[in-house]
A and B are shown apart, each in its own frame.
Chain A
């Protein structure tokens, strides 16, 4: 679905991320792992075409089903964002506009992409069911819900929009461990039920090893290692990868090591 070739993201001439090759197939989850500053979030933004707003310069190729994304105009992006590629952010409550109810945001987003009023109601209900949220939540404001609820709402929104690709930028980093598990479950469900492809970005290798089918490891803006998750976890080729894996606490059931 998504193919990245020789992607370079630069700020004021300084390259912050370089991805020579990355392929995301439909119905799979690719994890992008690394410490902060490794360039993983930058890559995610570039795939959404949002790098320009922060002042970055993007070169290289990012294709969605063969369509080149780096040359798309703002207007063209409006048909892609939300509809074909959607995004889930790190701070769930901060990502929701504080002055409108969750329901208003949901409705307007669906209407934006041409979903009729009747269909909207149905889609919202189904989506909320799938993420285990009560419809009451639609009447709440962002500051009235918990982080976990907000994140599951975001996933419901993305699922109702029927996006083919979801980019999750550190979706669990701001949440408690127990809540993390819920959100990961919901994301897995998204892939299984709807065949959504996902780019899952995180600094938490443990989470990635649970969820992702394949993984790319980045460091200081460069790709260090990539491949199927099980393979990379069990037989890491690079020293850095080994160090990262060694740092993961081993209190988990079904630990690959």
Chain B
């Protein structure tokens, strides 16, 4: 019968629907960010659940099956097996844990060291500033890979040494970035104002100032996640990072390199994993930049 009033939706359904709508409009406006976050989430979740969702979890450890070596992708081994018969799919999925762990640790260390140096330099200024920035310049002038290689040669190669080596090359960027922010804040007179107002109320000031200053750092971090994963993979490829049997993607590529022409799967899948993960974080970083851009770089 026409004119019948529609049954009102329950509040929770309406809320859920509006949330989906916001998500959909967000996805349309920032497609890359959306894809990046989704992809990264999938990778992180898959990596976390690796021991339970992979078919041959022991292959990520020290198990070897000489008889099953170099099988091409098929029903039992979707990604085939490597030189010593380990399931490539399992090792690639576990590789996510290794790479993500390295990225997290490096970001933490680099950010802590870099921000300490940079913020000190920016806020204190003067001679301290110049000295700290010269030191930063020297580390910046040192090509990242070479420094990582050199440090890895000094410490015995392992995933941990890779973390230390990469952190040593990564902190200068955070130092530069945070120093610029700190110097800019200092210039705006917030510090003097804070001192005049008194300590407790100055904390209110920081709550407004810091978020703005923090955004570029967060964008940098997501872009860096990709770079760190690539550097870690390169170090392992060169034999200066994680060692066998750790399922690190770069290591897997180097292990399969000599047989690449016949056993293409040993080299291809780990490489694809690296590319996908790096792309995910790069999409996030780029998406964040576009989303927080004050000029809204569209049209």
Residues of A within 8 A of B (CB): 53-55
Contacts and interface: CB of A to CB of B under 8 A. Distances in A.
4 contacts: A53-B299, A54-B299, A55-B298, A55-B299
Chain A interface main SS type: helix
Interface in B245-265: none
Contacts of A53: 299
By Cβ-Cβ distance, the 4 closest A-B pairs, closest first, are A55-B299, A54-B299, A53-B299, A55-B298
Contacts of B299: 53-55
Contacts, number: 4
Chain B interface main SS type: loop
Nearest to B296: A55
Nearest to A52: B299
Contacts of B298: 55
Nearest to A54: B299
A55 B298 CA distance: 9
Contacts of A54: 299
Interface string B261-299: 000000000000000000000000000000000000011
Contacts of A55: 298-299
A144 to B, nearest CB: 24
Interface string B84-102: 0000000000000000000
A132 B299 CA distance: 39
A249 to B, nearest CB: 30
A54 B295 CA distance: 11
Nearest to A53: B299
A54 B299 CA distance: 7
A53 B299 CA distance: 7
A91 to B, nearest CB: 16
A55 B295 CA distance: 13
A32 B298 CA distance: 30
A12 to B, nearest CB: 12
